[in-house]
């Protein structure tokens, strides 16, 4: 990944600066051009040597495979230069490393498989995602639009995303998972850790990546605070620790170094655990379900919507207000006004 490579080139610092990223991109470009030059030279040499062995007077055939290869490689080099330029612009605009990596992953496949960067090639590439959900297609359309607009190529394709409500999560479903974890016959040493992880998800609304990246230094038991660092959009926030979590978190962080993971699980592994628990308990929940439960519970208990927004780390209040529609309590109050 781009961020990981930058960290290596900057002396192992996982918080590589924009200057580190620029140096990495510049070095990558120089190395890429060097490899291309070597490849093109070797292709010409191979052909010339082969031609001399067969017939010194034989002319080079038009449209030979070697020529096509060189054209494709040259086109790919040009496209990758344009992509690097675009990614650099995102970096300079202060967008998060996670976002830039996702954009890079999607667009790298695009620029390396199309012959030309234009509207038609972008539409054809986007069409390959027709089987995905509207949210995913909309996100990919945004990635393509950003790159093409950066190159002064109009691309204004909009994917209609239906307005759907988050699932309403029953507390009884979560309780079933808790009971299954408690009854585990194997890996009993992890039971306390798993229960604390589940309760932390339920009582903080943290995202999967935030739970997986939570470090010991981010848990301040004296102040009863969890500090979420580098959340979605590289935003930090503070979440008060619920009294029910204090004992479990105290046990997990005891004796660990500040930089160690609280739960000892990467985000992907953590998500798989939640899925495994749900399947065993006979319910259909995932990590984000606990975030929905956290939000709807606060709305149902009358918490201030701005406070909920801050706890969830939403940039827009409109995103948080969706949970008002899940409970529909405010609509019931309006209906009850009628005679």
Tens-place pLDDT, residues 95-132: 888 899 999 999 999 998 888 899 999 999 999 999 99
Q: Is the pLDDT of residue 35 over 60?
A: no
Output the pTM of the full model: 0.68
pLDDT confidence tier of residue 72, bands split at 50, 70 and 90:
very low
Contact of 231 with 210, CB cutoff 8 Å: yes
Q: What is the spatial order of strands in the sheet that 225-228 belongs to?
A: 219-220, 225-228, 237-240
Identify the pLDDT of residue 167.
Answer: 87
Q: Phi then psi for 89, rounded to 5 degrees?
A: -65, -35
- How many beta carbons lie within 10 A of that of residue 139, not counting itself? 17
Per DSSP, which regions of the chain are E strands?
219-220, 225-228, 237-240
What distance in Å separates the CA atoms of residue 187 and residue 271, rounded to the nearest whole number? 18
pLDDT top residue among 208 and 76: 208
Which has more confidence, 202 or 6? 202
Where in the sequence numbering do the catalytic residues fall? Answer: 207, 232, 288, 291, 314, 323
Supply the pLDDT for residue 25.
53
Provide the 10 A C-beta neighbour count for residue 50: 11
User: Which of 2-11, 63-72, 75-84, 135-144 is the least confident region?
Assistant: 2-11
């Amino acid at each position: 990944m781009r961020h990981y490579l930058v960290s290596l080139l900057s002396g192992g610092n996982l918080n590589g600066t924009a200057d580190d990223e620029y140096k990495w991109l510049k070095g990558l470009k120089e190395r890429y051009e060097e490899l291309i030059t070597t490849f093109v030279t070797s292709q010409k040499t191979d052909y010339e040597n082969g031609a001399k062995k067969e017939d010194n007077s034989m002319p080079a055939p038009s449209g030979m495979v070697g020529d096509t290869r060189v054209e494709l490689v040259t086109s790919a080099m040009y496209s990758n230069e344009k992509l690097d330029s675009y990614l650099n612009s995102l970096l300079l605009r202060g967008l998060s490393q996670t976002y830039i990596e996702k954009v890079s992953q999607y667009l790298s496949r695009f620029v390396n498989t199309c012959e030309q960067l234009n509207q038609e090639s972008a539409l054809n590439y986007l069409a390959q995602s027709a089987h995905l959900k509207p949210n995913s297609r909309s996100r990919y359309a945004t990635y393509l639009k950003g790159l093409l607009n950066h190159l002064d190529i109009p691309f204004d394709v909009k994917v209609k995303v239906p307005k759907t409500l988050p699932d309403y999560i029953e507390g009884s479903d979560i309780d079933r998972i808790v009971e299954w974890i408690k009854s585990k016959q194997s890996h009993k040493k992890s039971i306390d850790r798993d229960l604390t992880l589940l309760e932390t998800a339920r009582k903080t609304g943290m995202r999967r990546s935030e739970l997986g990246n939570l470090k010991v230094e981010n848990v301040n038991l004296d102040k009863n605070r969890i500090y979420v660092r580098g959340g979605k959009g590289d935003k930090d926030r503070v979440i008060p620790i619920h009294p029910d979590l204090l004992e479990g978190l105290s046990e997990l962080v005891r004796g660990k170094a500040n930089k160690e993971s609280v739960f000892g699980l990467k985000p992907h592994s953590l998500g798989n655990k939640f899925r495994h628990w749900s399947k065993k308990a006979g319910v259909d929940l995932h990590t984000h379900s606990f975030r929905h439960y956290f939000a709807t519970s606060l709305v149902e208990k009358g918490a201030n919507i701005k406070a909920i927004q801050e706890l969830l780390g939403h940039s827009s209040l409109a995103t948080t207000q969706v949970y008002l529609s899940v409970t529909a309590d405010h609509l019931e109050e309006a209906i009850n006004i009628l005679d």
